[in-house]
Amino acid sequence: MNHLIIRADSTAKIGTGHIMRCLALAQAWQDQDGKVTFISHCESDALRQRLIEEGMNFINIEKSHPDPGDLEYTMRILDDISNQRQGKTAWLVIDGYHFDATYQKRIKDTGYKILWIDDYGHADHYYADLVLNQNISANASLYAHCEPYTQLLLGTRYTLLRREFKQWQGWQREIPTVARKVLVTMGGSDPYNVTKKVTKALKQVNISGLEAKIVVGPANPNLQSLAQEIGDNSNLQIITNATNIPELMAWADVAVSAGGSTCWEIALMGLPNLLIILAGNQANVATGLRDHGLSINIGWYNNINTIDIAKALNDLMKSDVDRKKMLSAGKSYVDGKGSARIMSTICCEDLLLRKASIEDCEVLFKWVNDPDARQSAFRSEPITFDEHAKWYRENLDNNNFIQFIAVDQDKRAIGQVRFDLKNDEADVDVSVAKEFRSLGYGACLVKKGVDAVVNTFKIGIFSAYIKPYNQASIRSFERAGFSILRRQVIDGHEAVNMVYHKRQG
């Protein structure tokens, strides 16, 4: 697996959100045995320590961009990593509003591939290979000024959620008639101490048996002030350096949150919530979540008082109808698979196709006899090596047989895609090695293979035949642009015929 380098910062002003959502991608990278390095100006010792404890390299930057020392130091680090990788291309993730188009271009010119994480199109121009905007209001018009090769990953399908949320995918929340448990989370820093304002509001909510857990982030400077505000009120509990956020969200009936990355965690957990805007980049997020029914946006922190918060919270806690609507909306927009989709896109960007040769006979024999592959085939009995070798040698000399092997940058064989040509049409067969399944390689292999064949042969129609139960393969072909034409019977088995019309020129 390639080396992933992440450039993101955390200060009292910036908050912890940029690093925390990058952490989600870093964890997904580690899960595929990849190495991760954070290059960061991070003021939080706790946050820095967490990255290190998770097995990630951490390189400190004294002064962040636009200080000129940032870019020069970052470039030296990237050079060192490139030398260690002996010319293999690495990916750099950049996340932060203080990074501009110039910063992006300088790094891109060194040969690095860039994933740029954004929220509102703040750069003048985009030189990145991938631009990710996970917000519900994301649209392509924000990125009108980008390079022809730039690919946009837009919307909540690409929401970055940390590893601890994976086990909560599909969890079912119960909505009580009256909510009594409140979770308060105003982000990692909360420089304006909005948490204290919410704490005061909690004391004014007229709900018997109310309990609140108040999460204080690692960069929050107001812990003492909050403790004084709570005093000896046993129903209000401060939680510092929380490591069990999903459990806290599962415990709560409602949440009061800032409009940052936590919103997507709340959506996955189906947690009804009030949003308070703490920064300009949160305004569109909060508005979008309100418009799509995921949240109640009560506005900017400096335009609301404790009475406003208490009333909104009291109304929500007493309305199970509103809470059920938010639960349903949140689940429909965030499914917890965003990191996997981004990983799939990155991996496909690095995927290379080469023509199959006689040296591939053994690995192809291994793949074709995999139990899942045999079950998916229309002739499912095992194949002997002699049968396979004879068939393979004969087809390699056939001009109507085209087969590609997909390899990654470490030269590992990922899978194969095969085309049987018939005049201006081609039948497509694809398979992915067992250890690389569920990463989106199937669709990538089909797309890259189709493009390679179209560029060489006058093929206009591509067909695939798949057993109906094989939904993973059907989805792969759908993502590659194929659609279902009809159902038919092949060798006594029902088959779904999927087709793709490729325009040439």
Domain boundaries, the chain: 3-163, 170-333, 351-501
Proportion of the chain in helix, strand, coil states, percent, rounded to 5: 40, 25, 35
Q: Please, what sign has the CA dihedral across residues 478, 482, 487, 489? A: negative
Domains 3-163 and 351-501 share a fold: no
Which token pair is 443?
């669709």
Considering only CA atoms, give the Rg of the chain: 26
Asked if 153 and 130 touch (Cβ cutoff 8 Å), the reply is yes
The structure tokens listed for 147 are 């390079």
**The two three-digit tokens of residue 30, written as one number:** 């580690």
CA 131 – CA 143 distance, rounded (Å): 9
- Give the model's pLDDT for residue 505: 44
Closest C-alpha to 435, from 455, 408, 454, 417: 408
User: What's the CATH number for 351-501?
Assistant: 3.40.630.30
Q: What is the pTM of this model?
A: 0.75
Q: Supply the DSSP symbol for 140.
A: G
Bond prior to 148 in cis (omega within 30° of 0): no
Give 89's DSSP letter. -
| Angle, helices 361-368/385-396, rounded to nearest 10 degrees | 120
User: Using an 8 Å Cβ cutoff, are 400 and 420 in contact?
Assistant: yes
Q: What is the spatial distance between Cα 401 and Cα 321, in angstroms, rounded to a whole number?
A: 60
pLDDT in tens, the chain (505 residues): 568 999 999 998 888 889 999 999 999 999 877 899 999 999 989 899 999 999 999 999 999 999 999 999 999 999 888 777 655 567 999 999 999 999 999 999 988 899 999 998 999 999 999 999 999 989 999 999 999 989 999 999 999 999 999 899 889 999 999 999 999 999 878 889 999 999 999 999 999 999 999 999 877 888 889 999 998 898 999 998 888 999 999 999 999 999 988 999 999 999 999 999 998 889 999 999 999 999 999 999 999 999 999 999 999 999 999 999 999 999 899 999 899 889 878 877 778 999 999 999 999 999 999 998 888 888 889 999 999 999 999 999 898 999 999 998 778 899 999 999 998 899 999 999 988 886 678 888 998 999 899 878 878 899 999 999 998 899 889 878 899 999 999 888 999 999 998 754 4
Find residue 154's DSSP bridge partners: 133
- Rounded CA-CA distance 387/409 in Å is 32
The Cα 5–Cα 332 span in angstroms is 32
Q: How far is CA 203 from CA 207, 271, 314, in A?
A: 10, 21, 11
288's CB contacts (< 8 A; 6+ apart) are 135, 136, 137
Here the tokens at position 129 are 């290979």
Measured distance between the N- and C-terminal CA atoms of the chain, rounded to whole angstroms:
35
d(CA 263, CA 156): 11
∠ Cα 85 90 91 (to 5°)? 160
Task: Give the integer Cα–Cα distance in Å for 342 and 208.
Answer: 45
**CATH superfamily ID and name for 170-333:** Glycogen Phosphorylase B; (3.40.50.2000)
Handedness of CA 164, 169, 175, 176 (dihedral sign): negative
What residues contact 240, with CB distance under 8 A and at least 6 apart?
A: 216, 218, 223
Dist CA 204 CA 311 (whole Å): 9
CATH number of 3-163: 3.40.50
Alpha carbon distance 369, 363 (integer Å)? 10
